Amino acid sequence: MERSYRADAELQQWLLQWQQQPPQHAVHGQLSDGRYWQITPQAHGWSWQVRDSEQSPLEQGWYTHWGEIIPAH
C-alpha cells in the first residue's frame, strides 16, 4: 500500500515551521521516521524536498514569500 506523504502530520508540521521562520541558507535534517528533509532558498521563495532513507526523493515542492506551499507534480 502506498503511503500518502502529503497527509503526514509530521511533514505538515515541518513545512509550517519553516514557512513561519524561513531559513536564509540551505538547511537539512531528519524526521523521526528516518526520512530526510532539505529546504533551499531560491529567488522567489524556497524549495523543499523529503527523501527516504535510501536518499530517493519522496516529495518536493516550493513555498513562496507570500506563504503559499506548492507541491511539485
Q: CA of 5: how far to CAs of 21, 26, 47, in Å? A: 22, 22, 17
Q: Domain extents for the chain?
A: 5-71
Distance CA 67, CA 52 (A): 26
Three-class SS state of 19? helix
- Rounded CA separation 57/37 (Å): 10
pLDDT at position 63 is: 80
Q: What's the pTM value of the predicted model, to 2 decimals?
A: 0.69
Convert the pLDDT of each residue in 20-58 to its tens digit: 888 889 999 898 888 899 999 988 888 889 998 788 888
